[in-house]
Structure 1
Amino acid sequence: MAVQKPGESSRLADPLTAARGERHSSVRALILDPAGELRVRDDHPEPVPAADEALIHVRRAGVCDTDLQLVDGYAGFEGVLGHEFVGLVDAADPELGGRRVVADINIGCGACPACTHGDGHHCRARATIGIRGRPGVFAERVALPRRNLVPVPETVDDELAVFAEPLAAALHVLDELEPGPGEVPRVDVLGDGKLGLLIGLALHAAGQPVRAIGHHRAKLDVAAALGIETSLERELDARDQGAAALVVEATGHPSGLSRALWLARPRGAVILKTTSAAPIPLDLSTVVVNELRVIGSRCGDMARAVDLLARGGLDPRPLIAARYPLARATEALEHASRRGVLKVLVDPGC
């Protein structure tokens, strides 16, 4: 991917802006342009909130595999990237001024049947922060609808709160569990990247038996340290084939689905978390012969994620691999794209 050279942008954000409620004409932001080039710009237009929106000063943002797929051409996005964040609502906001918040990234129309029945995640007219039709959060400030914001308790620091969005997606797996009578089946989580590990940690925190499967012993050790069963994928054998009641595919790789179907038992289920810019070759005969359920799973309940963090049920900070100022956000995405790297954070205040 084409990126800005280090040091091209050097203006520092004013850390007192939120407290004073000041306004500026422009913001620093990481932009993906129509040619697929990444660049940190200091002259991106200042977001102007609509009447139902709040202006938010971004404090931390996380790099997600989806961001990397967008750079590779997934979904045809252009503009400000980023959707995982915690921020401070501008002091001048009449409802939430001075509150720290995270946000549901799906912005529905609010009027269609999906929205009015509590399923705005599947509004046909929805925008998605930093992914589809809406600027993202790799910026000093962003404007978002207040209905999408979830306040963060003071007991949850920024480096915990920035995990709220991917944690909500991880916990959403719980909504798909359908054990048989008297059964509490182990869930196999395939993939030891940042989302795969977070799913394993979230299921374990919820009391669900889980096995984390991946290629890297050092990363699996993060899960093993919490008492989670782990397996290297190369060590799987005939005893594992067709044995799992539920497999969560979170490899981030086009080949992951085939491996997940290999693990699933007859009449079992496979939950898909991977989005990919590359096509996914697949022989569906296994799905037919073994009568498997294949379930897509995307975003979850942000309030549930914040509540788990506030109760101390999960500490994802061991997943943090690096931190970068916004001025070096192109380097942050390059770092995050390296094989084996876990969560990379961007700090717009530096």
Structure 2
Amino acid sequence: MNGMSALTDLSSFSAYPIIQAPMAGGASNPQLAAAVGAAGGLGFLAAGYKTSEAMYEEIRQVRHLSSHPFGVNLFMPQPATADPSAVAVYAEQLAGEAAWYGTPLGDPESGTDDAYDAKVAILLEDPVPMVSFTFGCPDRSVLDAFAKAGTYTVVTVTSPSEALAAQWAGADAVCVQGLEAGGHQGTHRDDPQLDGAGFGLLSLVPQVREAVQIPMIAAGGLMRGGQIAAVLAAGADAAQLGTAFLVCPESGANPLHKRAVTDPVFARTELTRAFSGRPARGLLNRFMREHGPYAPPGYPQVHHLTSGLRKAAAAAGDPQAMALWAGQGHRLARDVSAGRLVELLVAELHAAREALA
């Protein structure tokens, strides 16, 4: 640990070791983050896919709604590894979808850094309690600057080697993401040869615990307090849940997405590159089945390409061409308020601990 953030322990951010995952694309809004904070968990905003101004406006709203600590998640800029010809071939393949939904495909080259520098500058100028990073690890200079500003930093990792890199760079904590997690896999380098070759959470947590000394947040498929007890027993300091909070009324997720999470029609999840060009776990639908096998590695180019299609499908009320991100435990989702969900999780966590004792 370094700088001012060394004064803060992970447990000082919330009454309970429960963190609401940052879900880019609208689910993680100020209302959800504030409600989770008020119930004793730690709420998170997702700055991914937003302008720096939109991120700042959401921070302002959370501060207006809540006096509790909260976090902001940033996407790391991606190296230019996409093959433009492969992306062009994929665009041709999606022409039928564009015609069907009556919308043009997006421009794959409409920005690859997600306004990272501008967002970092805002967060250093007007610090928030916690900042986490996905798709890579920032330079030591960036992490040191956040430490100086009094911000606690978390780097998302999917392997012991990524966790070590984060510790060396000066991160205060790591968020260990298992293969079960909904949405994008937070790997630091997108290697198509490793698709689906990641670690399940309960095998990953002890390996990372032995590799690094910094605190650890566990994420991936967690839906019940008993699972939280399990990852804490395995060495994690807190648990991060996304899909569990996605269906809450405060979440900004599309109502079609919320319904699909517990709809028996969507029986399982799969990892796919179909929507964004990077492996992400979602409910298996028609778009994933038809285009997943052919989608090239190319993030965020493929994300920009399919963005309009996904919006048009949502507007048409058709979940079969939406990115329905969800973790493997999605069928366990409960349609209750965020505050009630934290209460239930805490009660289950206590019950599991008593049973173990």
For Structure 1 versus Structure 2, the TM-score category normalised by the shorter chain is: under 0.3
Structure exhibiting the larger radius of gyration computed from Cα positions: 1
Q: State TM-score, norm by structure 1.
A: 0.27
Superposition TM-score, scaled by structure 2 size = 0.27
**Larger helix percent:** 2
From the two aligned structures, give the one with the greater strand fraction: 1
